[in-house]
Amino acid sequence: MAKGTPPVSLLAIPLNSSSPAPLFRQLYDGLRGSILAGSLKPGARLPASRTLADDLGVSRNTVTSAYDQLLAEGYLEGKIGSGTYVTRTLPEDALLVRRGKARGGGTASRPGRTSRRGELLATTPAWVVRGSAEPRPFRPGVPAMDTLPLDTWATLAARHWRRSAGDLLGYGDPAGYRPLREAIAAHVGTARGVVCEAGQVVIVAGTQQAIDLATRLLLDPGDPAWMEDPGFVGARGALIGAGARLVPVPVDRDGLVVSAGVSRCPEARLAYVTPSHQYPLGVAMNLARRLELLGWASQADAWILEDDYDSEFRYTGRPLASLQGLDRQGRVVYMGTFSKVLFPALRLSYLVAPPSLVDAFVSALALAGGPPPTHPQAVLADFFTEGHFLRHIRRMRALYAERQEALVCAAKAELGGLLDIVPSETGLQVMGWLSAGIDDRAASQWADTAGVVAPPLSSYLLEPTSRQGLLLGYAAHSVSQIRQGVRKLAGALHKGTSSS
């Protein structure tokens, strides 16, 4: 096979744009089937993503998403500077060998198949970067855990076990611990301009659960839903899992381009947005766009999911008021999390439901296992009411501003001509724009080889774009770690661009 020429088996993969299954899923199924059937032999070199995309008439992002999934599952292996190959040890082959040995030889029986929804859930990316005990620079979305007031937290935790263990050992309020809901309602009303009562606050085990509950409550299979493009992969996965038809809506410097969403699909049933600090680009939705979005939702009888994941950390002025605070018709479901404010393992987030949806969310949460354990909720409630929460936020704002400045300064000194980092007024990460001609997926792989995490912008995209970038988190790393990480990243980019 000539270099870069797709084999006939690849060109014959059926792709149907009218199918409810995403194109990348169809291509993944076709490639996986060809590998397992032997049409693509172990060690066979696959064409470059751009070449295959051109030959199949799909976007490059469709091909790279399919390749990434197969790489993650072990069907493919990548060799830097060489290409992508079919692995020489297939997962199914190894599985059959182990089963055969366990049963004294013979052929393993074929397991029952999952549902179509199960297949979508199993093959939909839920993250761009997997978690680890010690996050490497520059993994985005991770707060500083070296400065947590753990002694205070431990004191509060012990006090609750001593004084009120009996109250904490039952199932608890199905919507969450009432004092925590009251503390959250008071806080978001003051700090974020959210208009709500404690009865509208529902405690959940992470924002991902909140998004999953909302999409299953508010959407029927096949319903169209607006998705920020680029956008949060977890939200994309929840929408796909709910059977929604994704409608990618571009984002510019003023946030979600509402007019583009209306042009593409005015009848969408839901829009997922991160208006205060768009993920991953970092822009804020201006007032005109917010009012335009609310106007569309009213006219289309649609819902809005507002993910306010890290706007506590705004370094200039006060945090922006929420979109929910402008909503007068009860169409916005507001979501916040303590994973970014305190620590991810806490697994405590919340949603503020419109009054008409509170009972539905509580029932759906009960069917999904109920709220998180009551004890950490009680500890967090005291953390709020005794003033520790606001003190911690103030300290972290100063620390994160210092760490972002260190990253920007180090990048100017080390990454000139390769990566331009745009400072952000909010959050735990910044976007770095690669110079023309540098592919962000290749750059991300070079960085990973050098021990640096730098997710590519294209991993967050549904539709391809000409701009290439890397998302860099700084909050979890000291100034010295940041400078060292920038040096590693600069070395990786210089080496990669010189050899490509």
Confidence (pLDDT) at 409: 97
pLDDT at 3 over 70: no
Residues 321 and 434 in one domain: no
Residues 365 and 420 in one domain: no
pLDDT average, residue stretch 286-306: 97
The CATH number that applies at residue 97 is 1.10.10.10
pLDDT > 90 fraction of the chain, expressed in percent and rounded: 64
Contact 87, 36 (CB under 8 A): no
Instruction: Please name the helix (run of DSSP H) or strand (run of DSSP E) that holds residue 303, with its range, or none.
Output: strand 303-307
pLDDT at 396 over 50: yes
What pTM, to 2 d.p., does this model score?
Answer: 0.78
Q: 112, 134, 165: which is the final residue of a domain?
A: 112
Residues 279 and 246 in one domain: yes
pLDDT average, residue stretch 427-437: 95
Of residues 134 and 211, the one with the higher pLDDT is: 211
Q: What are phi and psi of 469, to 5 degrees?
A: -150, 170
pLDDT at 390 over 80: yes
Residues 348 and 419 in one domain: no
pLDDT at 96 over 80: no
Contact 396, 285 (CB under 8 A): no
pLDDT digit string, tens, across residues 321-335: 899 999 999 999 999
Residues 412 and 330 in one domain: no
> Which tokens sit at 314?
């705004």
Q: 358, 386, 414: which is the final residue of a domain?
A: 386
- Judged by DSSP in three states, 170 sits in coil
Residues 335 and 396 in one domain: no
Q: What are phi and psi of 490, to 5 degrees?
A: -60, -45
Q: 386, 402, 436: which is the final residue of a domain?
A: 386
Confidence (pLDDT) at 98: 36
Number of domains forming the structure of the chain: 3
- Does residue 140 sit within a domain? no
Of residues 218 and 113, the one with the higher pLDDT is: 218
Residues 329 and 444 in one domain: no
Residues 291 and 174 in one domain: yes
pLDDT at 377 over 50: yes
Residues 377 and 411 in one domain: no
Residues 368 and 225 in one domain: yes
Residues 453 and 334 in one domain: no
pLDDT digit string, tens, across residues 435-458: 999 999 999 999 999 999 999 999
pLDDT at 143 over 50: yes
Confidence (pLDDT) at 108: 43
The contacts of residue 413 (CB under 8 Å, 6+ apart) are none
pLDDT at 289 over 50: yes
pLDDT digit string, tens, across residues 183-205: 999 999 999 999 999 999 999 99
Residues 280 and 235 in one domain: yes
- Does residue 274 sit within a domain? yes
- Does residue 1 sit within a domain? no
Within 13 Å and on the Cβ side, how many CA atoms surround 296? 24
pLDDT average, residue stretch 4-16: 66
- Domain that residue 100 falls in: 8-112
137-146 burial by CB neighbour count: b if 16+ within 10 A, else e?
A: bbbbbbbbee
